[in-house]
Chain A
Amino acid sequence: MSEHTSRSYVRFPLARRIEHIVMLSTFIILGLTGLPQKFSTSPISIAFVGFIGGIENLRLIHHTAAIVMMLGTIWHILFFGYMAFVVRTRLSMLPSLQDVKDGWQALMYNIGFGKSYPQMGRYTFEEKLEYWAFVWGVIVMGTTGFIMWNPITTVHSLPGEAIPAAKTAHGWEAVLAILAIIIWHMYGVHIRRFNKSMFTGKMSEDVMLHEHPLELADIKAGLAERPVDSAALRKRQRIYIPIAAVLGLIMLGSVYGFVNLETTALTTIQRQAPTVAVFVPWTPTPAPTQTATLPPTETPLPTLTATLGTPSTEITGTPATAPAEVPSLTWDNAIGAMLTEKCAACHGAAAMAGLNLSTFADAMKGGQDGAVIVPGDAANSSIVQKQQAGGHPGQLTPEEIAQLVEWIDAGALEK
């Protein structure tokens, strides 16, 4: 055993290992922040979104991870170009018919119909399947992600329905990718045998012998790495590096466009709540009794007389005259308003006990028991007697009673 393990081979240079860590971490972040959006009604999703600090935060993280993954992909493409066109390494990840045969042979072996497990090279059919599945995933997720990120741009060339279709595909593709990683990658690389080569970069000869025997044989035969003529290499570098720089810039520009093309899709403008006139009372405000139930009458409502101070048209039929010259108390300049204010609730239009004090004429007419105002004789006016006895509902103050007495004693003049 020890002689087998004494030797190990470089399987992944540092750059590839870093690339792997970038891709695996963004993949996990995308999965964690994406699945709650796909299964949004699940309490786990709600709790996770709450933990992250809200759906907008979740999306920000998701988008950031997506950008990093896109940058990783650009790097991968440029690196592939370098290896393929400059170094002219073997394109050992390309799928071939042999992979199908290997897969079939492995399956037959597993279920007992084959004598031996297939002998494979640098990348087994399992690894190639995973790699190309990832490529497919990146293409699908990138395209559908672009559509969702830039829906308005999308509808210039695709039907609007492409946007919800992209959302459907994006979600299901994520489910597929995550479950494939759990089933295929976890089993093949972590459970069956924990393959640390992607982190250490090395693989022991022992493992190489079992998992990549053809590659090991090539290495031993000196066939794995083709000799490179350094002059030719430098020449190809001089051609490739400017091309790669331009390609890289174009791709970076595309990512920038991807992210910044549209502003309103990702950051919708804040909705302005429609303004509504809230307090618009119905006019005229229907008063419960008054005009609705009263028959039309020439007598103005007591309030009008009181507040406007105009003489009743019914009585005089003449326009109001300025009361400024009249020094003494009259109905018009004081008493009418006072009695309306204090008495008209009952002795207004309601004319309780037949007495209506809202106009001078009605007041002088008196109530059902006769006149209440005896001009010149306040002491015998029942209005004064009632008020002086006290306790009447519309009780006048002593000053008001004094005014009333003075007015009646002076002859109870209208003007």
Chain B
Amino acid sequence: MSRWFRAHTMQFGLAGLALGVVIVLAAAILFEPSSVAAAPQFQDGKPSDETCLACHQQEGMTAQIGGQPLPITIDGTKFHASVHGMENVACVDCHTNITGFPHPEVTASSPRDFSLEMYPACEKCHNDQYQKVLDSVHQKALASGNTNAAVCTDCHNPHTQTRLTDKATGELLLGARLAIPQTCAQCHSAIYDTYKKSVHGAALTQEGIQYVPTCIDCHGVHNIQSPTTASFRNSTPELCAKCHTNETLMKQYGISTNVLNTYVSDFHGTTVEMFEKNYPDQPTDKPVCTDCHGVHDIMRPDDPQAGIAFKENLLVKCQQCHPSATTDTFTDAWLSHYEPSPRAFPIVYYVNLFYILFIPVVLGGMLFFVLTDIYRRFKNRRSAPSTGEEHK
């Protein structure tokens, strides 16, 4: 057989070439003019997007699931403009049970139940994010029976979601950050109402400054953890420091990057820092950033109403843990993130300066005397080695 094959190599080559040309031409003729936006290669004989949209593009289509309406009209234009449309993800790539018309019976008991049945389809392409979501507080709530808990499609409408991350770098597109608070607000509107009044939230939602923290910067994206745990609270200083020790970021707002250093060198910060290193998941009663600055309601320290640069406002924060502290002077026990200097907190500055000078002088003097003593004893021993009783 192989000898025969070799003998006819030439003929096979020519025949193969001719066949190849025919196939390429046929493919060009068949696919080029008629190809739709949705890539047929995913569909494998299943209905194309255009087939689905022929019906589902009509306005006002509503399916009854368990007696409740589920709108099933899909805006084809929006879908094609969505990241799924752009990436040629076909309807049936997610709606895998739809092989044609008529559709199989819907088994879900309600529209919500239908969403809960559908969202695992996201895993097929978004495995990374899907796995992270499995660790999230939302998934835990869902597992405990709270069907309100967010699943993929609650934040990302698969029919309209536009691209959120840079395709090359995977980094979040700047414009995408603006939409995040509203996305979370669909369920967490009370928090959103607080956030949008905060220094961070106002900057983002009113001024469109995109570098300020939005929900995901503190809570994470897909593996959102419960923010009420001890470990979340203990890690707050590092969390805030991510931005607040970033020189280039803080320079834009004229904010000190010393906030973490000064916190850690204070009694409270020292305690939390040391505590967290050994017991990251145990609660501590010492304050972290949010205990004084707030959580979603973080204000400028010089905010005329609530700013904690004003002693009377700060005292209220102190009293949360030190209820018997009743005088404004107590607030000076906290250096307000200042490094002590002759201008700011001079007592601390000069006490420190005193020791910085005093310690070397005292110890240097002692060391000098000790060294001279050692020197003399060696000298004495050499000059009178036999008299062991030579003491001094």
Which residues of A are interface residues toward B (Cβ below 8 A)? Answer: 1, 36-37, 40-41, 45-46, 49-50, 54-56, 103, 106-107, 109-112, 117, 148, 151-152, 155-156, 159-165, 167-169, 172-173, 175-176, 179-180, 183-184, 187-188, 192-193, 206, 210-211, 262-265, 267-271, 273-274, 276-282, 285, 287-290, 293-294, 301-303, 306-307, 340-342, 344-346, 348-352, 391-395
Contact = CB atoms under 8 A, between A and B. Distances in A.
Nearest to A263: B324
A351 B55 CA distance: 10
Interface in B183-202: 185-191, 194
Contact of B279 (A54, A112, A165): A54
The CB with the most chain A CB atoms within 10 A, among B61, B188, B273, is that of: B61
A40 B286 contact: no
The 3 closest A-B pairs by CB, nearest first: A160-B332, A349-B60, A172-B355
B352 A168 contact: yes
Contact of A271 (B103, B287, B332, B366): B287
Contact of B61 (A152, A280, A282, A346): A346
A110 B327 contact: no
B162 interface: no
Contact of A349 (B61, B369, B379): B61
A303 B64 contact: yes
21 contacts: A54-B279, A107-B372, A110-B372, A111-B375, A111-B376, A112-B376, A117-B392, A155-B325, A155-B330, A159-B347, A160-B332, A164-B334, A164-B348, A167-B267, A176-B362, A180-B366, A264-B325, A268-B321, A269-B320, A289-B75, A302-B64
Given A268-B286, A282-B185, A303-B69, A290 B62 contact: yes
Contacts of B67: 303, 306-307, 341
Nearest to B372: A110
Given A276-B295, A351-B58, 6 more contacts: A46-B274, A46-B277, A159-B329, A287-B71, A289-B73, A342-B64
Contacts of B367: 183
Interface in B74-126: 75, 101-103
Interface residues of B, number: 89
B278 A183 contact: no
Nearest to B72: A345
A152 B266 CA distance: 17
Given A160-B332, A273-B228, A341 B64 contact: yes
B329 A165 contact: no
B71 A288 contact: yes
A40 B270 contact: yes
Nearest to A303: B69
B358 interface: yes
B370 A276 contact: no
A73 B358 CA distance: 25
B101 A393 contact: yes
Contacts of B102: 391-395
B188 A169 contact: no
B363 A179 contact: yes
Contacts of A187: 370, 373
Contacts of A288: 71, 157, 159-160
Given A152-B324, A264-B323, A168 B278 contact: no
Contact of B291 (A263, A271, A345): A271
A350 B331 CA distance: 67
A52 to B, nearest CB: 9
A110 B392 CA distance: 9
B345 A210 contact: no
Given A160-B332, A164-B335, A271-B285, A276 B191 contact: yes
A49 B73 CA distance: 63
Nearest to A153: B324
A281 B188 CA distance: 6
Interface in B316-370: 320-325, 327, 329-335, 340, 345, 347-348, 351-352, 355-356, 358-359, 362-363, 366-367, 369-370
A210 B62 contact: no
Nearest to A280: B190
Contacts of B277: 46, 49-50
Contacts of B327: 155-156
Contacts of A271: 285, 287, 291, 320-321
